[in-house]
Structure 1
């Protein structure tokens, strides 16, 4: 059986990054759930901070440099996407949105997506539902019901916040794995000659 191809995109700006940590935790649980179901998975992790200049160049020039092109090609035939962003000023990071702006909308059509976000306070936890989920729904992706938000307080110690985060990660992973296991987009081929936008667009 062909392994399920899962793309992991993380938009953390610092190193180390709690956003990357959450992406790794989600990836680990997704892999474990798929393995329990006898499904092989091939995960590829992309740090958007390493592609920031490429994303800006693509927005300005309309062409993706090789490293960004590799991510876009992989996303086009992926069976699932794990997307994690920090929350700034009550919404997703500008780098995250800039990346979405250079993705061919058809690449996300019908694609299962596990949404994750990080922030300094639990007050921003609803950003997944009022900012991220509508964005992916508009692009005809299929976000799973459970989005996973991790505040700074969720990472330390062994209290209720830590247990709750682990439970949400596991629940989101199970929902995502169920969709991924039924998805097959390996035959999709993006048209390399298709224009991202008409010549007349500004």
Structure 2
């Protein structure tokens, strides 16, 4: 299986990338998936050119191919003005313009970093609606890490819970005959070939 992390951090080192790496390690530990990281900041110029000329450059096209072929996706953005970053949104806008169904049926774990816990609702008010619109299957647990969360009690538990949910969905897709290693979005188009994600999501939620 293949797991792709899309990280929109801007600095080096980046807390956004760090959160993505921790989520990827936890998910890969449960699923055995190979991990590939897409650093959106390295693609900024090609993303801009895509909007002006309509064609993704070589590096951006390779990133789009990796995302489309992934069995699971982890997306991580820093919070700017109480929402995802413009560069993060532009990456997925350009992807959608290239292939409107690239994320259809694909398991996605949403995550974000910010300076204050007050912005934690970005997961539910911005990220979850965006990926629902793109027809992805978003795991129930999103992970937000404020500055004070690093090293504090609670973040590790959220990471493990979200990773377990993503690994379970990826495992469900891989269990469908003939679908392992294929783009999840394309697999999801045939209703008779897909594990019912709604039932799997319900099973992941705690009873009561």
C-alpha deviation, 1:106, in angstroms: 0.4
Aligned residue for 1:73? 65
Aligned residue for 2:114? 119
Aligned residue for 2:132? 137
Q: Quick check: 1:180 aligned with 2:170?
A: yes
Contact 2:84 2:127 in 1 (8 A): yes
Aligned residue for 2:198? none
Distance in 1 between the 2:100 and 2:180 partners?
15
1:8 to 5, 10, 15: 5
**For each residue in 1:9-37, what CA deviation from the matched residue of structure 2 results, as whole angstroms up to 9, or x when unmatched?**
00001111100000010011001111xxx
Aligned length: 177
**For each residue in 1:77-116, what CA deviation from the matched residue of structure 2 results, as whole angstroms up to 9, or x when unmatched?**
2111100000111100000000010112201000000011
Note closer, same or farther for the CA distance 1:41–1:189 as it changes in structure 2 (3 Å cut). Answer: closer
Q: Which runs of 5 or more structure 1 residues have no equivalent in the other structure? A: 35-39, 157-161, 191-202
Q: Which runs of 5 or more structure 2 residues have no equivalent in the other structure? A: 174-178, 186-208
TM-score normalised by structure 1 residue count? 0.84
Contact 1:78 1:185 in 2 (8 A): no
C-alpha deviation, 1:188, in angstroms: 4.6
Deviant stretches of 4+, over 6 Å: none
Distance in 1 between the 2:142 and 2:9 partners?
17
Q: Quick check: 1:168 aligned with 2:168?
A: no
**For each residue in 1:27-71, what CA deviation from the matched residue of structure 2 results, as whole angstroms up to 9, or x when unmatched?**
11001111xxxxx31111011011110111111111111111111
> Is the partner of 1:135 in helix, strand or coil?
helix
Distance in 2 between the 1:146 and 1:105 partners?
25
Note closer, same or farther for the CA distance 1:189–1:166 as it changes in structure 2 (3 Å cut). Answer: closer
Distance in 2 between the 1:32 and 1:189 partners?
20
> Is the partner of 2:79 in helix, strand or coil?
strand
Aligned residue for 1:151? 146
Contact 1:6 1:78 in 2 (8 A): yes
Aligned residue for 2:201? none
